[in-house]
Amino acid sequence: MSESQKELHERKHQDILQAGIKVFSTKGVMAATFTQIAKEAGVSSRTLYKHFENKEALFAEIVELTFSEANLEKLPYNPERPIRDQLIAVTTQYIDHITTPDMIQLYRMTMGELMRDHDLAQMALTQITSQDHPIQVFIGEAMNKGGLKQDDTAIAARMLVSMVKSLMHDRLMYFGTPLPLPKSKSELIEACVDMFLGYFQSEQSD
């Protein structure tokens, strides 16, 4: 059965998206050209312009695609379980999610856009920071139900996220290699959670 026009259009669209990810990741959005992307996708520049009017539109769809495929489950707080165990589980899920190759690529592309196109970079950063939301929701639930002492949930989430990201994400994003540390990922997450609980643990959950 021959490929329909609709199927052909969709296949080329996906080829262009993948080519955009590859070229943007290696050259940056600013330095990348439509000619390079068309060559990587195996299509003509004319075909490329039929799908995307400019690089910014292509980048925006790549961001949307990445997050539509990202499925970070929200883990509810359970008052019957130790808060430490639950925070370790939530934090581990978060780190596993933001250190996938697709997410690291997106962080890198976005950082490169910050100085050139603030609106485009802000759109991507809004999506990226939304990945912190399940941790903030969990912390809010724990505070409301006595598992953590009452405080500003956004600040509390930012404190925990900042600790684990600085150890297990940031160097990977900037240099492509994890920070060499004497402890395993699980040990580092437990240490971050323990530091967090040193301030936020409520007497009720002791």
Cβ atoms within 10 Å, residue 14: 12
pLDDT of 104 reads 82
Domains of the chain: residue spans and CATH: 5-60 (1.10.10.60), 70-205 (1.10.357.10)
- The tokens of 14 are what? 């996906």
Q: What is the pLDDT of residue 128?
A: 73
pLDDT at 13: 92
pTM equals 0.74
Judge contact between 171 and 110, C-beta under 8 A: no
| Ranges of the chain with pLDDT below 50 | 1
DSSP per residue over 93-136, as a string? HHHHHHTSHHHHHHHHHHHHHTTT-HHHHHHHHHHHHGGGHHHH
How many Cβ atoms are within 10 Å of 94's Cβ, its own excluded?
Answer: 24
The crossing angle, in degrees rounded to 10, of helices 55-69 and 5-27 is: 100
| Interval 104-116: pLDDT, tens | 877 777 776 666 6
Q: Which residue is listed with tokens 């539109």? A: 57
Q: Are 69 and 34 in contact (CB under 8 A)?
A: no
- Per-residue model confidence (pLDDT) at position 72: 65
Q: C-alpha 200: how far from its chain's center?
A: 26
| CB neighbourhood size of 7 (10 A) | 11
Dmax (CA) of the chain: 68
